[in-house]
Structure 1
Amino acid sequence: MTETTVVESDRVALRPVERDDAALLQRSTTDPDIRVPLGAPAPQNHHQATEFIEQTVEEGDNIAFVAEVEGDAIGFVMAEIRDYGRPELVYWLLPEYHGQGYGTDAVGCLVDYLFRTVECHGLQAITFEFNEASRGVLERLGFVNEGQLREAAFIDGSYVDVVRFGLLRREWEENQSD
């Protein structure tokens, strides 16, 4: 892992997002294999991706990391910290790393980090009904389906259902003792 690793599993390391990561983050809005499942409505240029880093990562209370495997950036994980309610997770991986368990490892590292360092009763995440991979990540980590909003988002030309997941601290603690 790198000298800037904050948290790691056996296979994945999380490090802070740097401004040099703008090209990586830009890809989430331009690559259809990431953009569509993420629900990003419009592509961003490099300047907009840099502004996202400055405004959302550096200036806010959000907690964001680049996920790495053997020093190579493979994706992004973030907790949007809110004044009310639970922090909401946002995550994606580069398509060439899909289906290999890295998403579960990276999001699992983020979840563990948050429950160990942030005072919060629980976490939440949303995904789209069609995004089976994202739903699988959450379910493997113990998140519970807390409800579905029918046709709540317009993604890639049609309305899709939004599924909300949650994980309470006590549920996470129970999983830690298993």
Structure 2
Amino acid sequence: MPGPVFLEGDAVTLRPIEEADIEFVQRCMNDPRVWRPALDSNPMNRELGSEFFEEVLSTEENVHCLVCNGEEPLGIVSLTGSQYGPDETARARGAELAYYLAPEHHDEGYGSDAAARMIRYAFEDRNLRRVSARCGSFNDASIGLLESLGFEHEGTLREAAWFRGEYHDMLWYGLLRADWRAER
């Protein structure tokens, strides 16, 4: 059963991830329609799911929420610190947005709603200045979601992602609070 509502979107709620949700996370992360675009090629058994819950999803440094429609879990949306470390994140006032939905909930608008609500939280409640995101150049759905939310393509890491037997570019996107406010 998902935890209490933390944030409400138009169609989804964002809730703390609880230990009881590990099975859902594990199911998603073992589905090739999730792990291939996420570029995470290792299987996740119950023990690894528990470690992931303890070491990643349950830390205070980052924000990880279960995306739900009512009581039904749909996916996860996260705000994580800078790849350069917590000191750099604090100085730059930025975080990275990440998300995935269970494949049966793709193309229903839930991902856009969850990401939009997390972005609003980042700017209004956490006082961040920028939110970044990255995805493989092969991931048209993620590119479309980011661009629909006002993110701008800021850079390309050439052939930095291995996906289905080929190297692909990794795309970096960014959204500044000033630009987000202007679009509202």
Task: Pick the TM interval, shorter chain.
Answer: over 0.9
Aligned with 2:134 (options 121, 126, 129): 126
2:28 matched residue in structure 1 = 28
Aligned with 2:173 (options 153, 159, 165): 165
Q: Report the RMSD for the aligned CA atoms in angstroms.
A: 1.5
Distance 1:151 1:3, change over 3 A: closer
The aligned length equals 175
Give CA-to-partner distance per residue, 1:33-89, whole Å, 9 cap, x none: 111111112111111111111111223401010000122100000111232243111
The within-5 A match list for 1:10-89 is 10-82=10-82, 83=86, 84-85=88-89, 86-89=94-97
Please report the TM-score for the alignment, with normalisation by the length of structure 1.
0.92
Give CA-to-partner distance per residue, 1:101-147, whole Å, 9 cap, x none: 11100111111111122132101000111111111111111110101
Secondary structure, aligned partner of 2:124 = helix
8 A contact 2:78–2:99 mirrored in 1: yes
Q: Which stretch of structure 1 is more off in the superposition, 12-21 or 153-162?
A: 153-162
Deviation at 1:3, TM superposition (A): 7.3
Secondary structure, aligned partner of 1:127 = strand
Secondary structure, aligned partner of 1:87 = strand
Deviation at 1:4, TM superposition (A): 0.8
2:182 matched residue in structure 1 = 174
Percentage identity across aligned positions?
35
Gaps of 5+ in 2: none
Q: Distance in 2 between matches of 1:81 and 1:126?
A: 13
Gaps of 5+ in 1: none
2:144 matched residue in structure 1 = 136
8 A contact 2:159–2:168 mirrored in 1: yes
Please report the TM-score for the alignment, with normalisation by the length of structure 2.
0.89
Distance 1:3 1:152, change over 3 A: closer
Q: Distance in 2 between matches of 1:42 and 1:91?
A: 18
Aligned with 1:145 (options 118, 137, 153): 153
Q: Distance in 1 between matches of 2:133 and 2:175?
A: 9
Q: Which stretch of structure 1 is more off in the superposition, 120-129 or 150-159?
A: 150-159
Q: Distance in 1 between matches of 2:118 and 2:67?
A: 10
2:104 matched residue in structure 1 = 96
